[in-house]
Amino acid sequence: MSRYQSIARTQPGILETNKVLRNTYALLAMTLLFSTATAGLSMALNLPYPGVIVTMVGYFGLLFLTSKFSNSVWGIVFVFALTGFMGMTLGPILNFYIHSLNNGGQLVMTALGGTGVIFIGLSAYALTSRKDFSFMGGMLMAGILVAFLASLATLFFPMPGLQIAVSAMFILLMSGMILFQTSEIIHGGETNYILATVTLYVSIFNLFISLLQILGIFSGDD
């Protein structure tokens, strides 16, 4: 009898986890489409890159608002504002690669394909293996802080070797973040699908940018 009671007690938790997972992937798909649309609009209008300061203020400001209102409908509004803004900042970068490099279009598509393969592969592994990657949380946060500071250094010391190292760090860290966040959802560590969506979106965005930077450097044109 106790065995059946135990099963009954776990069912609500499983249902809630599945709900968070479905909502996360549904919202992630919509934000990726919206971000793609704003990036395309930015490219079509040939908008200039807003600069590091404006980008950081916009990103962290919208990220703060998304987190603050993550338990209300306003959280969804700010998720789309954040991802739309990031798409707008991505447009000028894509225009640079496409119009400045001989094989820029191919590099963009390769980076996009690589990002998709990595995300799907890591997500599938976390979902099927159901391993608990919560132990990675502290290491990932520390690593992201170091990588962020190193990326600022590349603004003052634009050396290809340093840029490759920073991009490689971000690829590893964002891959780890995908495993960590997916694990948190399926094990009940993350119950807010808005926050989960933002984490996965930012991981995908940084993964794509980092792959594109490495491909651009090794293409010999950057």
- pLDDT tens string 111-139: 999 999 999 999 999 999 999 998 998 99
Say what the pLDDT of residue 1 is.
Answer: 43
| pLDDT tens-digit series, residues 36-52 | 999 999 999 999 999 98
Domain hosting 7: range is 2-218
Q: Can you tell me the distance from the alpha carbon of 26 to that of 33, in angstroms, rounded to the nearest whole number?
A: 11
- Is the pTM value of this prediction over 0.85? yes
Say what the pLDDT of residue 82 is.
Answer: 97
Q: Can you tell me the distance from the alpha carbon of 207 to that of 103, in angstroms, rounded to the nearest whole number?
A: 20
- Answer yes or no: are the C-beta atoms of 79 and 127 closer than 8 Å: no
User: What is the number of structural domains in the chain?
Assistant: 1
Distances (CA, A) of 24 to 33, 62, 86: 14, 19, 19
CB atoms inside a 10 Å sphere around CB 71: 11
